[in-house]
Amino acid sequence: MSATGIRLHAPAPGWSLDADVVVVGSGVAGLTAALRCAAAGLRTVVVTKARLDDGSTRWAQGGIAAAIGEGDTPAQHLDDTLVAGAGLCDEEAVRTLVTEGPDAVRRLIETGAHFDTGPGGAIELTREGGHHRRRIAHAGGDATGAEISRALVEAVRARGIPTVENALVLDLLTDADGRTAGVSLHVMGEGQHDGVGAVHAPAVVLATGGMGQVFSATTNPSVSTGDGVALALRAGAEVSDLEFVQFHPTVLFLGADAEGQQPLVSEAVRGEGAHLVDADGVRFMVGQHELAELAPRDIVAKGITRRMQERGTEHMYLDARHFGATMWENRFPTILAACRAHGIDPVTEPIPVAPAAHYASGGVRTDPHGRTTVPGLYACGEVACTGVHGANRLASNSLLEGLVYAERIAADIAARHA
């Protein structure tokens, strides 16, 4: 223990910053928490493992789910989420998500995010697996995450919130009473913040994303290595539902030996009418579930795996040739470019797909305000287990969860700081 009464679980820092709150991570959850904390007058520092725009958020293709369409209601969104979660969701956590979600999306738009709109100016909505209504807002066709990341990063920079990039967080710092006192970290850069250092703060928000790189094939970027869960465990925080790792059904198949991040083929492609077929062109999901290709992700992933085993093949196909070139170019330009970069043209041929690790539904256990079991330590986004997702996340609920619970965390920290 140092002379200041702070326990150091890493080498003594060579430099330090003081703040009211330190946010670890720069996806939708982390940056939203940082912006809301700063707006409440809290001295806020953002620490991120790579660059400010390098989290999982910018890879999100499909969109963000919220009951903002005509005839849709939070109650219907609630029902779809509970069904997808296979009976293991925390219903009150889901109710919070779907009830507060629409206004959270509107505040995101006020922050600067631009979603695709129709001729009348209303936000265009699409469907994805497990949803019985069109309630997915998207941007740039299939580049929703990139647009949200752009807007939040610009807002953070415009507000002048201090950031420390290329920083690996080593451990949580705690005081003599076991309360959060900041984080120790190692910055892999140059200049003022280089080498081992610390950010001292009575509140720490973990928003470090997932752990997809634990698996050989994943949709997650290289920074998703489970750092946040590891830090929380070392600090004595409780975790929950770590076994519920969601596999996305339709990931571009690059070969049996392909490792690391694989290109995602958004569920929105199926939402717009693409079909899953085997090598003979048979739609094998028909009859397996009332929603066929738009069944919840775990059901579709199992259906694909089962058919692969039956046929002795390494992948199935997603057929969207009937979209035509114009729709592919306008609605799914990112996916079209990724497929063509690997020698596949979805306009003229089916896309080879197979399931790959995609999302950690479990994580650091939190209460309705994002508090963990360690005083002063909060968690939101994919690193957290709020109880919203249960055994299987409903498509496009992740960005919404990041927004809603990040705002709740900021409100709680501000109230405690007052």
Mean per-residue pLDDT, 276-295: 96
Catalytic residues: 297
pLDDT score of 57: 85
Q: Is the pLDDT of residue 283 over 80?
A: yes
Query: Measuring CA to CA, which residue among 206, 205, 203, 224 is closest to residue 214?
Result: 224
Q: Is the pLDDT of residue 232 over 80?
A: yes
Mean per-residue pLDDT, 40-46: 98
pTM of the predicted structure, to 2 decimals: 0.92
Beta strand extents in 20-118 (DSSP E only)? 21-24, 44-47, 64-65
d(CA 118, CA 121): 5
Q: Is the pLDDT of residue 240 over 60?
A: yes
Contact 182, 4 (CB under 8 A): no
Pairing of strands 195-200, 15-18: parallel
Q: Is the pLDDT of residue 5 over 50?
A: no
Mean per-residue pLDDT, 273-293: 96
**Tens-digit pLDDT profile for residues 51-102:** 888 877 887 888 999 999 999 999 999 999 999 999 999 999 999 999 999 9
**Tens-digit pLDDT profile for residues 163-211:** 999 999 999 999 999 999 999 999 986 555 678 999 999 999 999 999 9
d(CA 366, CA 269): 33
| Averaged pLDDT of the chain | 93
d(CA 272, CA 274): 6
The partner residues of 215 in beta bridges, in order of sequence, read none
- Classify residue 142 by its DSSP letter: T
Complete domains list, the chain, with CATH: 15-244+361-417 (3.50.50.60), 246-356 (3.90.700.10)
d(CA 82, CA 212): 24
